[in-house]
Amino acid sequence: MKNNKFAFGKRNYRFMIIGIIFIALGFILMSGGGSDDPNVFNEEIYSFRRIRIAPLLVITGFAIEIYAILTKPE
């Protein structure tokens, strides 16, 4: 009889989903700020949200993913 076990437990998958949400939110916050006219510079591209908050969320999401993978399943 085969013992069918998943590589990860329920807790691991929860952390993986949370990490994916953090990464997706970071990329969503990073988007936009461009200009339709290439001759016009838009200062909005250097906003606090795009330079500080969004990359921090993405890095946090990747850290959560690493934790989810390295945590022992139950």
Q: Would you kindly state where each structural domain of the chain is located, as residue ranges?
A: 10-70
| Residue pointed to by tokens 């200062």 | 43
Cα–Cα nearest to 69, from 8, 5, 14, 21: 8
Q: What percentage of the chain carries pLDDT values higher than 70?
A: 95
The answer to pTM > 0.95 is no
Q: Is residue 27 a contact partner of residue 54, using CB atoms and an 8 Å limit?
A: yes
pLDDT of residue 68 exceeding 90: yes
pLDDT at 5: 80
Over residues 20-50, the pLDDT tens digits come to 999 999 999 999 877 778 788 888 888 999 9
